Chains A and B, each alone.
Chain A
Amino acid sequence: MSDISTVQEPEVTVPPRISEWKRFRRIFFQRKLVTFGLVVLVILVLVAIFAPLIAPSNPYKNEMSQSLQDPSWNHLLGTDNLGRDTLSRLIYGARTALYVGFGTVLVSAVIGMILGLLAGYLGGVVNGIIMRVMDALMGFPMLVLALLLAAVLGGGLQNVVIALAIATLPGYVRLMCAETMSVKENEYILAQRAIGAKGFRTMMKHVLPNAFQPSLVLITTMLGNVILAEAGLSFIGIGIQPPGVAWGSMAADGYRSLASHPLLSFSPSIAIMIVVFAFNMVGDGLRDALDPKLRGTL
């Protein structure tokens, strides 16, 4: 048995004080893939905004004499069966992808977080009703529910956004509800009650700011998932309708000439992959930076 007094005290090193933002930035940019993802997204946003300036030709103009051209200096990625420039269509497709992605996430995250906050904070009957409806929505595969809703609402950009927003709603509600319930148990919430703060004020000023971080990570990953789902819907012809340009429908159009012109279906598919990957990476970076506990395990 060693003498207790000889046991060395572990050296206590006081970490240098750094601001929360600096710490966040350091962890976020630690992984090269996260930085890569962020760079891809910034480029994507710029491409979408300045599409008319960047695109080498009009993405809607049919030119039958130019149909199914191989890549050349005039058409860097060739042309489709109607003679439209593939690169220009890819560039305009970025607009659709981002519009659907951000539009959907905006709608579903805002509504979902409010519902989750209410369900978690109020509990009881409100919780019961909201969560049972969410359980029912989760009974449908995302694409099947989106298919059902897109069929009901008809195709088109806006309806795809609504359909996907409803299909992705339960994720936010569940996450927010669970977070709210755990934050609610904290002593500072009890303290709020004790000093007689109104329920609504407590919910908005104290529960919400402490419960929404995980949703931020979900939002980023959802952006990727939504873009994938939109591509799927457009692929089967139910999403974006012509003349709108969507990567999914470009891939489907290209399928007909897969044997002779594989680039037509592969180029939009690769674009989708890169963008979804970028969103996933940024989501991972956010998760690591916001919650160091989860590093490298997920």
Chain B
Amino acid sequence: MTSYIIRRVLWGVLVLFLVSVIVFFSVRLLPGDPVLMFVAQQSSGSGMTEEHLEKLRIEHGLDKPVVVQFGNWIKGIVTGDLGKSIRYRTDVASLLTDFLPVTLILGLISVVISTVLGVFLGLMAAIRRSTWVDTVVTIISYIGLVIPVFMLGFILIYVFGLKLGWLPIAGYKLPWVDFGASVKYSIMPVACLAVTPLAVTARQMRSSVLEVNNMDYVRTAWSKGLRERLVVTRHILKNSLVPVITLLGISIGIIFGGSVIVESMFAIPGMGRLLVQSVFNLDYVVIQGGTLIIAAMIILVNLIVDISYGWFDPRIRYE
């Protein structure tokens, strides 16, 4: 097990390095000079001389060769220094500590809800195969797979925000600032973020349960006269959960991707919205740091999933 974990961790570090290479060099291809862009946006920009611009470039290390910039960037990642935002004029690291918690809280709630509910729905659909339960779950999971995230947002905003006026349609409050308000602000965004992973989980769970159902040990459990509840919880549920664990990494990817849209829609000050705005501001330092952090978190989750997979199913360790 130890050697398996070590191998996985090393692999994770290698992939993370490749990710940082991709992020760095693709951002380097951005059209336009970021410093000029920034200056053009400032109203006082007209007074800028070439010397000022040069000073800004030196301040952000943009005057050095690309290879040196890359070296500095990697060194920065290791020491936790992700550079300085051109637009906000603060450290990207501290900017991210402001924006990241919002996305993480909403994301975490969405992952928990989508996984628990998805497992439950998938299980019910499979053990009541070809009944109305199965049909309802199948319809829900199809809707979840094909609905654009923003469309669910429109429906919710229209009904609960505009017509009934029950929920706020823009903004966010952190739970430790005002818990009640935070719950109200979270309901609609979480519903939008969770719907697709919920559908994916329910589908996977259903097919996984159907497969386990055909196993000899399930038949044995039935034939020795166990009650349905015991067969389902002890024998079917436990064994069909293993493939669903793998989905955690995918779910988190979908949720981070969705947060780009959802946070823009509900004006939530999180990572997704920050990224979109940084794209418009050509604030490449923030795009760079933000995408790197998101990718790093997904790689970390996948690493944990892989390791737990090896723990649940020892055959995998020896691959």
* A residues apposed to B, CB below 8 Å: 132-133, 135-137, 139-145, 147-154, 224, 228, 231-232, 235-238, 248, 251-252, 255, 258-259, 262, 265-266, 269-270, 272-273, 276-277, 280, 297-298
Contacts and interface: CB of A to CB of B under 8 A. Distances in A.
Interface string B173-187: 000000000000000
Given A135-B18, A236-B261, A280-B145, A297 B151 contact: no
Contacts of A151: 30, 279, 282, 287
A255 B264 CA distance: 12
19 contacts: A132-B18, A135-B11, A139-B296, A140-B291, A140-B294, A144-B257, A144-B260, A144-B294, A147-B260, A151-B287, A152-B27, A152-B31, A224-B146, A232-B260, A235-B150, A251-B148, A255-B265, A273-B148, A280-B145
Contacts of A224: 146
Contact of A266 (B15, B23, B151, B294): B151
A236 B203 contact: no
Contacts of B294: 140-141, 144
Contact of B287 (A137, A148, A259): A148
Contacts of A235: 148, 150, 261, 264
B256 A144 contact: yes
Given A144-B275, A236-B261, A273-B147, 14 more contacts: A133-B18, A135-B11, A139-B15, A140-B253, A141-B253, A141-B256, A150-B279, A152-B27, A248-B150, A251-B148, A259-B158, A272-B151, A273-B146, A298-B203
Given A266-B154, A277-B142, A141 B254 contact: yes
A222 B14 CA distance: 28
B14 A132 contact: yes
B154 A262 contact: yes
Contacts of A266: 151, 154
B29 A152 contact: yes
Interface string B63-105: 0000000000000000000000000000000000000000000
A198 B275 CA distance: 50
A272 to B, nearest CB: 5
A231 B148 contact: yes
Contacts of B256: 141, 144
Interface string B256-278: 11101100110000000001100
Contacts of B253: 140-142
Contacts of B108: none
B149 A297 contact: no
Interface string B120-152: 000000000000000000000010011111110
Contacts of A148: 23, 26-27, 287, 291
B30 A143 contact: no
Question: Looking at B22, B275, B299, which has the most chain A CB atoms within 10 Å of its CB?
Answer: B22
A235 B291 CA distance: 20
B295 interface: yes
A41 B302 CA distance: 36
A278 B296 CA distance: 35
Nearest to B256: A141
Contacts of B295: 139-140, 144
A280 B257 contact: no
B275 A147 contact: yes
Contacts of B149: 232
Nearest to B25: A152
A269 B257 contact: no
B207 A259 contact: no
Q: 8 closest pairs, A vs B, by CB?
A: A143-B257, A141-B257, A136-B18, A269-B151, A151-B279, A139-B295, A276-B146, A141-B253
B30 A258 contact: no
B1 interface: no
Contacts of A248: 148, 150
A139 B154 contact: no
Contacts of A228: 146, 148
B22 A136 contact: yes
A251 B150 contact: yes
Interface in B146-204: 146-151, 154, 157-158, 162, 203
Interface string B1-19: 0000000000100111011
Nearest to A231: B148
B210 interface: yes
Contacts of B151: 251, 266, 269-270, 272-273
B54 interface: no
Contacts of A147: 260, 275-276, 279
B211 interface: yes
A255 B266 CA distance: 11
A142 B257 contact: yes
A11 B298 CA distance: 55
A136 B15 contact: yes
Contact of B276 (A231, A236, A297): A236
Nearest to A140: B295
B291 A144 contact: yes
A266 B264 CA distance: 18
Given A143-B258, A144-B256, A236-B261, A136 B19 contact: yes
B232 to A, nearest CB: 18
Nearest to B130: A296
A137 B253 CA distance: 12
Nearest to B32: A154
A238 B154 contact: no
B97 to A, nearest CB: 19
A259 B162 contact: yes
A17 B179 CA distance: 68
Contact of A272 (B21, B31, B148): B148
